[in-house]
Amino acid sequence: MRILLVGHGKMGRMVEALAPEYGCDVAGVLDPLSPRHGGGPDADAWRGVDVAIDFTTPDSVMQNAPVLARRGIRLVIGTTGWSAHEAALRKVIADSGSGIVVAPNFSTGVVLFEAAVAYAAKLFAPHQEFGAFLHEAHHSAKKDAPSGTALSLRRAMEQAGYARPIDVSSTRAGSIPGTHMVGFDGPAETVTLTHAARDRTAFARGALTAAKWINGRSGWYSMKDVLGLK
């Protein structure tokens, strides 16, 4: 399977390093900031590419993803902060017959963590004495806050029936790969659930797993679909 790396920063390079383990051949790099930039989304160089994996910026997603989808290239999008444009990209995916996996976090552990958090929220929902909070921490270069994962966790809690306010806070410091903590605080006790990434490997492996899964499929999917949780 041939993959295109859209973005060749830390995540793109990690995906490239692990690609052979997943039977993937890196066809090239779409990143104007990289010396390996092979051209824009309409370049002839991308003929025969099966899946594009995008870890870039919100603006780049909307510049590249629609063009690639119309060419029949499947997409794996790990970039966050572009949800305001989701409806437009959904239409492109539907009209083109392409397929896409979108996730704020491709870590298998985070996807399972979200399921556990949703279940906990359902259990705590009837107990008015417990208030919920969510804190996330990432490296200083991460621009969006709260993280896409934090917003997804809050949405999962609300969908599980937790209707009271959920305080969400963020930290941007150092080189933290990503930590998310959900807590339920009562008058005399606190219950917390935490996921902490030790490095970016889990995200890259999840993206490659998603790429293998979406190849040949049509439609809009999440990592829950990839892991069979839907």
Active site residues: 138, 142
CB 182 within 8 A of CB 132: yes
Q: How many C-alpha atoms does 151 have within 13 Å on its Cβ side?
A: 12
**Backbone angle region of 225, left / alpha / beta, with phi > 0 → left and psi within -120 to 50 → alpha:** alpha
Beta-carbon count within 10 A of 135 CB? 18
Is the CB of residue 168 less than 8 Å from the CB of residue 130? no
Instruction: Enumerate the β-bridge partners of residue 50.
Output: none
- Residue 82 structure tokens: 């572009």
Neighbouring residues of 59: CB distance < 8 A, sequence distance ≥ 6: 82
CA-based torsion, 62, 66, 67, 72: positive or negative = positive
3-state secondary structure of 169: strand
Give the SS3 label for residue 134: strand
Say how far apart CA 37 and CA 30 lie, in whole Å. Answer: 5
DSSP H helices, 160-228, are: 201-214, 223-226
